[in-house]
Amino acid sequence: MVTATPLEAELLEIAGSVPDPELPVLTLGELGVVRAVHVRDADSVDVELTPTYTGCPAVEAMCLDIERALHAHGVREVTVRKVLLPAWSTDDISTEGRRKLREFGIAPPRVRRESGPVAVSLGPVRTRDAGEEPVRCPHCGSADTELLSRFSSTACKALRRCLACREPFDHFKEL
């Protein structure tokens, strides 16, 4: 593994400080999608960005926002490359990002015990999760929640409802 130079680390921090266009409460760094910055020469850099999924509609906005942030810092030429390996996972969301999601009213993804594919079972939509760690309500903290829809405002979130406080909420699905 190549160690980043101090300049690359600084530019990575700037690129990572860009807010996510779909979840502006999170930065791209907290979301874990900005992987690396490589300096080509004095005023030219490559940024590696791994989208949350290959069809993510926010990728173009992310790329433009990263370019703007680095241009504002004096970098003349910025190339943002989409890197698909290793694939992004919800495990890449930082602890701070998970805290911010919860405070914003979105249940963060559960921490997975194993790496690899996440099983998806199809069946009745209104169901509680059997045999899995419960999804806690970000409003009251109750583990007594139910799935209302596998998709919510974005494809990476599901719609749930708390059975204790009766509030609906988004749950950032595990990937």
Q: Same domain, yes or no, for 77 and 10?
A: yes
Those residues whose C-beta lies under 8 Å from the C-beta of residue 3, and which sit 6 or more positions away, are none
Number of domain units in the chain: 2
3 state SS of 1: coil
pLDDT at 131: 64
Q: Same domain, yes or no, for 120 and 68?
A: no
pTM of this structure: 0.83
For residue 66, report the phi and psi dihedrals to the nearest 5 degrees.
-65, -45
Radius of gyration of the chain (CA): 18
The domain of 25 spans: 6-82
pLDDT at 127: 53
pLDDT at 123: 56
pLDDT at 124: 54
pLDDT (tens digit, 0 to 9) for every residue of the chain, 175 residues total? Answer: 568 899 999 999 999 999 999 999 999 999 999 999 999 988 899 999 999 988 888 999 999 999 999 999 999 999 999 999 999 999 999 999 999 999 999 999 988 766 656 555 555 554 555 567 889 999 999 999 999 998 888 888 999 999 999 999 999 988 7
pLDDT at 160: 95
* Cα dihedral value 76, 82, 86, 88, nearest 10: 100
pLDDT at 25: 95
pLDDT in tens, 33-81: 999 999 998 889 999 999 998 888 899 999 999 999 999 999 999 999 9
Run of H or E residues at 172: strand 168-172
Q: Does residue 94 belong to any structural domain of this protein?
A: no
Q: Same domain, yes or no, for 122 and 75?
A: no
**Residue 24 half-sphere exposure toward CB, CA atoms < 13 A:** 3
pLDDT at 147: 92
Question: Measured between alpha carbons, how far is residue 107 from residues 19, 43, 140, 162 in Å?
Answer: 19, 40, 11, 11
Task: Provide the CATH number for the domain around residue 25.
Answer: 3.30.300.130
Strands 34-41 and 145-149: unpaired
Q: Same domain, yes or no, for 67 and 112?
A: no
Question: Measured between alpha carbons, how far is residue 168 from residues 105, 130, 150, 161 in Å?
Answer: 10, 20, 13, 4
The last residue of a domain, from among 82, 117, 150? 82
Task: Report the C-alpha gap between 86 and 174 in whole angstroms.
Answer: 16
Q: Same domain, yes or no, for 24 and 73?
A: yes
Q: Same domain, yes or no, for 10 and 78?
A: yes
